Structures are given as structure tokens and as C-alpha cells.
Amino acid sequence: MGRLLVLLVALGLVSTGCKRSSEEQGTAGRTRIVFKFQPLWGDPAPFRELLAGYSRANPDVELVTEALPNSSDLAHQFFLTSLQGKATDFDVLVADVVWVPEFARAGWVADLSEDFPPARLREEFLPGPVDSVVVEGRTYAVPWYVDVGVLYYRTDLVPRAPRTYEELRRFTRDAMAKAPGIQGYVWQGRQYEGLTCNVYEAIWGHGGQSLGADGRVLLETEAAREALAYLHGLIADGLSPPTVTGFGEEEARRVFQEGRAVFMRNWPYAWSEAQAEGSPIRGKVGIAPLPTKDG
């Protein structure tokens, strides 16, 4: 377990709670650790160097990396099937924040509180990531990186980033009139967790909250109704294409990066893609916080 925790310190990952039937040895008697992960979007070089650095620092460990599909839903289903079946063929995994409580309560991931006390995490990490990995006062994962939804916009088609939903609508209409045939605002509308992110961002943007005082999910609220009406209205009014209901991150990015949309909601990884050599929108894109109801 000690060596496994060294890897956790280096990578900030989750150790699986299931144990192998015996201490599996790698080549030349080294301890073998199998790491399951989803490939990160963008330049893979920093991640590869992180793994290589761990291997150099721990020559007695054979680190085996096994990539899963980039789809969060597919990765989640893989882990559900494997962990429910008491799989013992991997040791470390990358978990989305919403999976950690589920895996912890099922007893599928190790309690890391002794090596990573919640109080220490709260000193070293942002509050949100810590809340995601500390379940009922115990640590079951270590934060690795932080992502946030942002708005991309075409600087050659709009005067500035919109601050409110009404400005987003107005800027979109004006840009579509200026550039006939271009689509307006693309986002993640497919039925998967990316849509959940878009919905909650809209709820927060309308002044709503995720949870009530009793810990129950809040959806029957005025803010939630306004948020869903706003997202539906984008499509109904032609400001977002009907195809957005089939979009994940990459579908939205490709449309925007090909110069076929005015605005896009996505993660920060899309910035380097948009500014890459040969990108049709290189030098013509800005990035800003998502708009809200009141700006």
C-alpha cells in the first residue's frame, strides 16, 4: 500500500478498494501497478511526463497504464461492472468527482484518510474538489486537476463577451445576421453528464442552488424552471442548432473550431485547440466566464 500511496501523491488519483489474491510481481521482481484512466484532451505530453517521472523516481515499480474510452459514461459503466464484479486486474483509477461518493459508499475504493487527512486536503486544495473526495468525513480520493465550464466567442463577430443571457441572445442574432449560414451557440446537449453540467451552470446562472439544507437535489424551483426554459429556448428560437441535442464536448468543439459557430460552451482544453497552428479561428477567439441572468 505504501508504494501505491506514492503514486497517489504524484498523480492525485483514487486507489481501488479491491485487493489482488496475491502480491502480483512485475518484470524482474518489481511491484506491478495497473493504472486505468481516460485520456485527457489536449496535449498529452505533460501527462506522459508525469507518469515517466513517477517511474524514474520508483524503479522498483512497474507502472502499467491502460486507457479507457474518453466518454465519461462508458468509463463509468466499465468501473461499475468491474468493481461490482470484484475485479482485481487494476489498482489505481481516475474517477470523475460525482463518482467518488458512489464508489466510496459501495466499498469499492480505499479509505485514504490516514495518509490524506481531510484537514490537510482543506489546507492544500480548493474547497470544491475537497468536498468531492471527502465522504462522511473520510478521504476516498485525492484531487488531481480542476475543470470549469467557460464561454468561447468569435472576436471578429461580436463586440465582446456577453455578460448576461439576454446579451448572449442579442449578440448571437446580430452575428448570425452578419454571417449568414453560421450557427449561433453550441454546447453539450446530449443525454450524458455533460448535459448535467450545462443544466447546473444554467441553474446557478439563474440564482439557483444544487442542494437544499437537507441535502436533497433541488430541481422543483423557479431558478431551475427558468434555466431549463432558457436552454430549451436557445434551440426553439434557432440560436442553437437542433443538432446540439446530440453534441458532446468534441462535437461542439469541431463545429466551433471549423468556424461554423459564434459561441461555444466548453472546458479550457479547447483553447489550445482553437489557437493551434492551422486552426481556422486562430487569433479570432476569446474566452470568458459563462454569462448569467444578471451579469
- Using the predicted structure, report yes or no on whether residue 4 has a pLDDT greater than 50: no
Query: Which grid coordinates belong to 75?
Result: 468509463
For residue 5, what pLDDT is reported? Answer: 34
- First CA to last CA distance, the chain: 49
Percent of the residues in the chain that have a pLDDT greater than 70, as a whole number: 91
Backbone phi, psi, residue 177, to 5°: -70, -35
Q: What is the pLDDT of residue 6?
A: 33
pLDDT tens-digit series, residues 97-107: 889 999 999 99
Q: b/e for 75-95, b at 16 or more Cβ within 10 A?
A: bbebbeebbeeeeeebbbbbb
Helix-then-strand count for the chain, H and E: 11, 10
- At 150, give phi and psi (nearest 5°): -135, 165
d(CA 80, CA 64): 21
Model pLDDT for residues 196-246, shown as the tens digit of each residue: 999 999 999 999 998 888 888 888 999 999 999 999 999 999 999 999 999
What is the per-residue pLDDT across 131-144, written as a single tens digit (0 to 9) for each?
A: 999 999 999 999 98
**Beta bridge partner(s), residue 15:** 92
Please state which of the ranges 11-25, 59-73, 240-254, 281-295 shows the lowest mean pLDDT: 11-25
Decide if pLDDT at 78 tops 80.
yes
Asked if pLDDT for residue 23 goes beyond 60, the answer is no
Residue 122 pLDDT level (bands cut at 50, 70, 90): very high
How far is 175 from 171, CA to CA, in rounded Å?
6
Confidence class for position 12, pLDDT limits 50, 70, 90: very low
